[in-house]
Amino acid sequence: MEESRQGYSLAEGKTLLIWLTAFVVLVLLPSMFRVSLGISHVYVKIVIKTLEWATLQIEKGIKMQKALALENLIANGIIQREETSMEKEIAGQHRGYFNLADVMYFAKKGCEAVAEDEVTQRFTSEELLSWNLLSRTNANFHRVSWQLTTVWIIGILIRYCLLVPFRVKHWLSNQVQLTCAALGVRCLSGLVQFHNRENRPQKGGICVANHTSPLDVLILASDGCYSLVGQVHGGLLGLIQKSCMQTSQHVLFERSEMKDRHLVRKRIREHIADKAKLPILIFPEGTCINNTSVMMFKKGSFEVGGTIHPVAIKYDPRFGDAFWNSTKYSMMTYSFNVLTSWAIVCNVWYLPPMVKEEEEDAVHFADRVKAVIAAQGGMSVLPWDGGLKRKQVKESFKEEQQKKYCQLVT
């Protein structure tokens, strides 16, 4: 018995040594020296081939009537909208007087807003056209055929029993920003393509980017060092923030305190005035959007002056949902969903630096930067404030729409 136990201990020691050696050679050393071994590329290609095969299995296993129902289920929207403004639609029917038929226009718009409005759609996960083999998305496609069921079960074992332990054990590496960020991205099976690196943010500047996930910081930090500006959080994210504050200078604030906002602007001005300091990373949307659109940029970061370095981040939703719906999922739940996804695949574009033009106010400058980021990332531009997912529409906006209608009928 004693010899048997010693044999088991020896086998366990050898297994642990093999894992540690593989971790150091394949993950830690390449992350330290910023070298890619191409493992992520090969992994993503394998996942793509697997998903394509699964899609063919689904198409073969579902009958025609079920396929029609499936198309209705995964359609991009339940409402076919006419992209016509109120002025054009109503003014095209009459001018200068009130018409009872106008009531139908507002009733139709009201029903559309209740059933499927533009704002709330940006705070739910993007619907995929085909199943990505993740058990928490779409219908029960794993029951279509035994082959697909087998692959689905193997996928669960890989994600939960292999990828999760391999990723979780790297969370303690947070001391050196570049190394730890690169290590973190690789621990998530991340494949990030950086474009136009010659436009990377410089010291003394402000880097602004569209915001989809807390992973945005990790991805950008894997390619450069930043000082962060953001809201104070609690829980796990708050613990990470406190740890980061001990190694570098960041500007954190309470979003509800107006006095704190003026202090933040002052500290940002002082920061960018020193050209030896790291560029400040800011997400002007102020909340996470589902990566299909870019919503209103807060003007605060565009009032302090200095050079703005726009960055566009676009995730590939086929491999996992990077969007954090903070109103639905806690940080722990979101982290678990990310860890059990296939991979985090995204493109990052460094855009040419921009400065505020003469006689251009902060609002128009922010809109100009937002339009450039949206165009590069292939996302739509929305004028809405992302805070609408937690707040009511301002009365001033309602009054503006009422004034437009009154001008049409008078």
DSSP secondary structure letter of residue 384: S
Q: For position 224, what pLDDT does the model report?
A: 84
Q: Whole-number mean pLDDT of the chain?
A: 77
Interior angle at CA 77, CA 71 and CA 81, nearest 5: 130
Architecture of domain 176-395: 3-Layer(aba) Sandwich (3.40)
Which residues in the chain land under pLDDT 70?
1-9, 32, 34, 62-98, 100, 113-118, 120-121, 124-130, 135-144, 165-176, 230, 233, 236-237, 240-249, 253-261, 393, 410
What is residue 283's predicted lDDT score, i.e. its pLDDT? 92
Q: What is the pLDDT of residues 333-358, one digit of tens each?
A: 998 999 899 999 999 999 999 998 88
Closest CA to 105 of 347, 410, 401: 401
Digit-coded pLDDT (tens) for 234-275: 776 677 666 665 556 677 766 565 556 677 788 788 888 888
pLDDT of residue 75: 47
DSSP string, 298-355: PSGGGTS-S-EEEEEEEE-TTS------TTT--HHHHHHHHHTSS-EEEEEEEPPPB-
What's the pLDDT at 385? 83
Structure token digits, residue 32: 């330290």
Secondary structure (3-state) at 235 = helix
pLDDT at position 139 is 57
Confidence (pLDDT) at 216: 93
Task: Tell me 268's DSSP state.
Answer: H
